[in-house]
């Protein structure tokens, strides 16, 4: 994925504050990797407009990104967040 998308690492503040900050700047959806992800190879997708969250197989992530955004058509950046409780968030 790092060859298809621009990624940035960030690890400050709580996941809730990161969600709110990304909501404010218009990030359409966020991906969070947590301890459950390590056991089940899934991640949480959070949609900005509905605030709906769902678990998704990590294997399905690339397909979802291809459906939702295309780097061929628009320049989007992704932000990866990690905090001390091992929560990781990949934000589009």
What are the pLDDT digits (tens) for 17-69? 888 888 888 878 888 888 888 899 998 888 888 999 999 998 998 888 887 77
**At the top level of CATH, which class does the domain 6-91 belong to?**
alpha beta
- Residues forming beta bridges with residue 43, ordered by sequence position: 56
**Can you give the C-alpha Rg of the chain in angstroms?**
12
Q: How far, in Å, CA of 33 to CA of 82, rounded?
A: 9
Q: 0.85 cut: is pTM over it?
A: no
In three-state secondary structure terms, 34 is coil
Segment 73-84, tens digit of pLDDT: 555 555 555 555
Domain layout of the chain by residue ranges:
6-91
């Amino acid at each position: 994925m790092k060859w298809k998308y621009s990624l940035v690492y960030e690890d400050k503040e709580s996941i809730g504050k990161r969600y709110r900050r990304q909501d404010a700047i218009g990030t359409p959806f966020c991906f969070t990797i947590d301890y459950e992800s390590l056991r089940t190879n899934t991640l949480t997708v959070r949609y900005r407009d509905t605030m709906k969250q769902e678990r998704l197989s990590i294997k399905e992530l690339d397909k979802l990104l291809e459906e939702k955004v295309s780097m061929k058509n628009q320049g989007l950046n992704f932000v990866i967040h990690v905090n001390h409780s091992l929560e990781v968030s990949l934000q589009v």
